[in-house]
Amino acid sequence: MSFGEQLPIVFSALNTGFLQTMRLFLITLVGALPLGMLLAIGEMSRFRLLRTIIKTVVWIIRGSPLMIQLLIIFYFPGLVFNTPLWGSGESGRLAAASVAFIINYACYFCEIFRGGIQSIPVGQEEAGLVLGMKPTQIFFRVKLLQVIKAILPPISNEIITLVKDTSLARIIALQEIIWAGQAFMKGSRGISGVIWPLFFTGVYYLAFTGILTLLFGRLEKKLSFFR
Amino acid sequence: MAILEVQNLRKSFGSTLVLDDISFTMEKGAVLSLIGSSGSGKTTLLRCLNFLEQPDSGIIRVNGETLLDAAAATASDFHRNLRLKRLHFGLVFQSFNLFPQYTALENVMLAEKLLAREQPDWKERKAARLQEIQAHAESLLADMGLKDRMNNYPHQLSGGQCQRVAIARALALNPDILCFDEPTSALDPELTGEVLRVIRSLASLHTTMIIVTHEMSFARDVADHIIFLDSGKICEEGTPEEVFGNPQQERTRQFLSNYAQQ
Amino acid sequence: MKKIIALLLCLMLVAVAAFAVAEGESDKAYVLEKGTLIVGITDFEPMDYKNEAGEWIGFDADLAVAFANYLGVKVEFQEIDWDNKIFELNGKNIDCVWNGMTLTDEVLSAMTCSKPYMNNAQIVVMRADKIADYATVESLSSLIFAVEAGSAGEAEVNALGYQVNAVQNQAAALMEVKAGTSDAAVIDALMAAAMVGEGTSYADLAYSLPLNEEQYGVGFRTGSDLAAELDAFLAASAADGTLQKVAETYKVQAAIVTE
C-alpha cells in the first residue's frame, strides 16, 4: 500500500484515538477541578480527623504512579472481588480510566488550590471583616479572583501535563491516540509494519497543547489588570 | 456621655499576657494617640476594639451600648452580631490591605454596596442607591485629594495614595470611631506627610479617632489625649503637654528620650 | 505458636472456600448466561486484525465468531495489553485469549488452554544486507537480540545464552533493529511474514533462521470447561473442512494442526 493510500486510513484511526484522548481529558477536568476544590476546603477544615484523612489520601495518590492506580482501579474489582465492575467494552475502560484520572488529578489540584488560598495575605480577610463583610462575601468578592490569578500558572501546567498523561491509560487498553498509532506497527486495517503513525501522534498533542497554551496565556493577560 | 468606654480589658496569647487590665474612656470628637514600643500591646488593643481578637475579659461600650462583656460572653456571644458590632469601628491598616482587583472607587464602594443589598427595599431602589453610594465614595476620595485617581487600581497608586484610599474606605461606613494602626510605618518618609495631613484635617472636622503611631511629633500635635502603653499596661496617660512635656514615669522618660535621640 | 497455626488454618479454610465457589461455577454456564463471549486480542495480522472498515477479521477472529455461534452467544472482541492478559482473564474482563498465543510453560500454568491448533516458530529478523553472514545459530552468538518481554522468543534466546534486550512488544522489537539499537529481533514467524519486507517500514529487514518450533492455543480461565468445548468444536471444524477453508483465506493453511 502506498503512502498516499495509507494516509486517510491512518488519519481516521488517529482521529478516533484522539477523540478518546479528548474524552478522557475533558471528563477528568470536569470531575477533578470541583473534587480538588472540595478536598482543598476539607484540608483546611477545623476537623483534625478530616484533615488527616485527606492528607493521607493525597499522599498515597500523589506518592504512587498513576499507572499502578489505573491497574488497581480497573483490575481489582474482578481479580480480588470476582465481580468485574466496569462492564465490557471500551466504555468500561474509559469509565475506569476516568475514575483513576479524576482521583489522581483532584489530589494535585487540591494542593494547588490550598496553596493558592493560603497565599492570599491575611490582611485581605481582616480588611473585609472590619468592613462588616460576611465570610462568604469575603471569599467570593475579595479572595476568589486573587486565588484564581495566583493558581493559574500551576493549574495550566497541570492541565497540559494531563493532556499527555492520558496516554498512560493504554495500560488498561484504552484505545487512545498512542494506542491507535502503535496498532499500525503490528498490523491494522491492511497496514502493517509501519512506524510513522506512532510518531505522528506527537503532532496531535503539540497542536492541542498549543491551543491550551494560547488560551491560558490569554486568561493570564486578562487577569493582569491587577497585581 | 463617653463615646467609648473600655474597662479592664485583658488578653493573652498562650501564656503571654499582651493586654493587662486596660481601662480608658473617650469623648466624641476626641483624638486619642496610643504610643509605646513594639510589643507593648498597642496593635492588639486596636484589634480587640475591632473584634479581630477576642479579649479574655473586660467590657467594651460604645455610646452606652455594651458591645462586649467578656466575663458574661461565651464564644457564641462573641460571634453573634459580630458584623454589626464591628461597624461601630473603622480600621486603617499599616499595610493598607486594599483589594487589588478593585479600583480606588470600587474599594470604597464595595462594603457599603454589600450592606445596601441586605436592605429590604434594595430591589426597588437599586439604581438610586447605587448612585448615592457612588456619589458618597467620590466625595470621600475627593476629600482625600484623589479626585483624579478614582479609577486607578491600587498597584497604580503610590503608598501614600493607597493609604488615603484606605482611609476613605474606612470612612465610607460612617464608623463612630476610626482607628489607625501605624498608618505611616509602611511609607517612605516623603510620603508620610500627605497621610498625616489627611488625618489632621479629619481631626479638625472632629472625627473621633484612635491612632497608634511612632510619629511622636505628630501625636503631640494632633491628639487630645495620649496613652503610653508598656508591657500591656497603661504606664502613663494625659494630655500631650503632660505626657511629652512632663512625664511622671521613669519608663516614659526613657521611651521618649530614645525618640528624641533619633 | 499454636495460635498462629490456628490462624493460618482459618485463613486457608477461608481461601479454599472462596476458591471452591469460584471453581464450582461452570465457566461455560457463566458465558451462556451472560450471552457474550469476550475474546481478548491484540492487533496481530493475520490472526486478529481490523479490515479497512474497522471490523475484526483474521484466522483467529473468524474462528472465534464461529465458536461463539456454536455456543449460541454473541462475540465481542476486546483489545488488551498483552502484558495484562492474565489479569484480564481472571478479572473476567475477557473470557479467553485467542490471539496466536504460543503455548509456553508459563501460559499453560496460568490458564487452561485448548489443544494446539497452529504451528509457529520463533524466527530471527535482521538487516537484509547482513543476513547472509549469519546462517547458523552459532554465528549469532555475538549479537544483541530485541525480544518481547515474556515472549517465547525471549525464552529461546535466553536458552541459547545470548544477549537480550527485552522490549514492550514484538513491534517494538522490530523497531529496535530498524533503529540499530539492537542487532536482531526474535519474533513469531507468522508475524514476521506480515510485517517485514516490501511495503512496510521494515523493507530493509529480512528473516531467516527459526530458533524453535512451537504451537498456538487458546487460553481460558484456570479450570474452565470451555477449553474442552473448543477442542470439540475445532475437531468438528477440521473434520468438515471449514477450518482449512478459513486457513486458506488468510494463507496460513500450511501451519494449521489437524489431527
A interface with B, Cβ–Cβ < 8 A, is: 121, 123-124, 126-127, 129-134, 137, 141-142, 145-146, 149, 225-227
Quick one: pLDDT at residue C254? Answer: 83
- Which band of pLDDT confidence, cut at 50, 70 and 90, is reported for residue C6? very low
Residues with Cβ < 8 Å from C128, sequence gap 6 or more? C204, C205, C206
Question: Which CATH superfamily is C2-119+215-249 part of?
Answer: Periplasmic binding protein-like II (3.40.190.10)
Nearest CA in chain A to B113: A133
Assess whether the region C2-119+215-249 and the region C122-212 belong to the same CATH fold.
yes
Average model confidence (pLDDT) across chain B: 92
Q: Which has more pLDDT, B28 or C21?
A: B28
B186 interfacial to chain A (CB closer than 8 Å): no
Range in B124-133, C81-90, C228-237 with the lowest mean pLDDT? C81-90
The answer to which of B61-75, B124-138, C244-258 has the lowest mean pLDDT is B61-75
Whether B93 sits inside 8 A of A121 (CB atoms) is: no
Residue in A124, A129, A145 nearest the CB of B86:
A129
**A133–B83: do the CB atoms touch at under 8 Å?**
yes
Q: What is the pLDDT, as a whole number, of residue C13?
A: 41
Q: Do A193 and C52 touch (CB under 8 A)?
A: no
- Structure confidence at residue C24 (pLDDT): 58
Domain assignment present for B218: yes
Yes or no, beta carbons of C91 and A182 under 8 Å apart:
no
Q: Which residue of C has its CA nearest to A192?
A: C195
**Closest by Cα among B157, B135, B134, B130 to B146:** B157
Count of alpha carbons within 13 Å of C122, Cβ hemisphere only?
27
Amino acid, res. A129: L
C220: β partners:
C96, C112
- The pLDDT, as a whole number, for residue C23 is 52
**Around A75, how many Cα atoms within 13 Å sit in the side-chain half-sphere?**
20
pLDDT at C22: 52
How confident is the model over A124-140, as pLDDT tens digits? 999 999 999 999 999 99
Do the Cβ atoms of C93 and A171 come within 8 Å?
Answer: no
How many residues comprise chain B?
262
Contact A185 C171 (CB under 8 A): yes
Calculate how close chain A gets to C252, using CA atoms only, in Å: 16
CB contact under 8 A, A173 and C84: yes
Residue from the list A123, A145, A149 with its beta carbon closest to the beta carbon of B93: A123
Residue to mutate among B89, B97, B181, with most A CBs inside 10 A, is B97
The answer to whether residue B163 sits within a structural domain is no
> Are A132 and B110 in contact (CB < 8 Å)?
no
Domains and CATH numbers, chain A: 3-225 (1.10.3720.10)
d(CA B21, CA B7): 8
Residue B114 in any domain: the answer is no
Fold topology of C122-212:
D-Maltodextrin-Binding Protein; domain 2 (3.40.190)
Share of chain C above pLDDT 70, in %: 90
CB contact under 8 A, C194 and A171: no
CB-count exposure of residue C48 (10 Å: 0-12, 13-18, 19+): buried
Nearest to C171 by CA among C150, C213, C212, C202: C202
Are chains A and B in touch, 3+ Cβ pairs below 8 Å? yes
Highest mean pLDDT, choosing among B116-120, B144-148, C202-206: B144-148
pLDDT of C16 strictly over 70: no
B104: pLDDT strictly greater than 70 = yes
Going by pLDDT thresholds of 50, 70 and 90, the confidence category of residue C252 is confident
Flag whether residue B86 sits within 8 Å of chain A, measured between CB atoms: yes
The pLDDT value recorded for residue C197 is 77
Contacts of A197 in chain C (CB under 8 A): none
- The residue ranges of chain A whose pLDDT is under 70 are none
pLDDT in tens, C98-156: 999 999 888 999 999 999 999 999 999 999 888 888 888 889 999 999 998 878 888 89
pTM comes to 0.81
Beta-carbon contacts of residue C217 (< 8 Å; ≥ 6 apart): C101, C103, C107, C113, C114, C115, C116, C117
Instruction: Give which of C23, C39, C43, C125 to mutate to test A binding, by max A Cβ within 10 Å.
Output: C43
Rounded to 5 degrees, φ, ψ at C86 are -75, -40
DSSP of B23-74:
EEEE-TT-EEEEE--TTSSHHHHHHHHTTSS--SEEEEEETTEEEEETTT--
From CA C159, how far away is CA B32, in angstroms rounded?
95
The size of the A-C interface in CB pairs under 8 A is: 105
Of C51, C90, C195, the CB nearest to A193: C195
Task: Read off the pLDDT of each residue in C202-216 and give the average, rounded to a whole number.
Answer: 88
- pLDDT tens for each residue of C156-194: 999 999 999 888 888 889 888 988 889 999 998 888 887
Closest chain C C-alpha to A45 CA, distance in angstroms: 39
CATH of the domain at B93: 3.40.50.300
Confidence bin at C2 (pLDDT 50/70/90): very low
φ, ψ at C136 (rounded to 5°): -120, 160
Residue in chain B lying closest to A126 (CA): B52
Evaluate the CA torsion angle B113, B115, B117, B122 in order and state its sign: negative
CB neighbours (10 Å) of residue C39? 26
Contact C37, C68 (CB under 8 A): yes
Domain segments of chain C as ranges: 2-119+215-249, 122-212
What DSSP state is assigned to residue A191? B
Distance from CA of B36 to the nearest CA of A (A): 23
- Total of domains in chain B: 1
**Residues of chain B positioned with their CB less than 8 A from the CB of A142:** 99
Q: Which residues of B touch A131 (CB under 8 A)?
A: 110-111, 169-170, 173
Using the beta-carbon criterion (under 8 Å), do A79 and C49 form an inter-chain contact? no
Largest CA distance in chain A: 76
Which chains have 3 or more CB–CB distances shorter than 8 Å to chain A?
B, C
Task: Residue B102: list chain A partners with CB under 8 A.
Answer: 226
Express each pLDDT in B177-217 by its tens digit: 999 999 999 898 888 999 999 999 999 999 999 999 998 99
Does the structure show a pLDDT above 70 at C3?
no
In chain C, the residue whose alpha carbon lies closest to the alpha carbon of A81 is C91
The pLDDT value recorded for residue B201 is 94
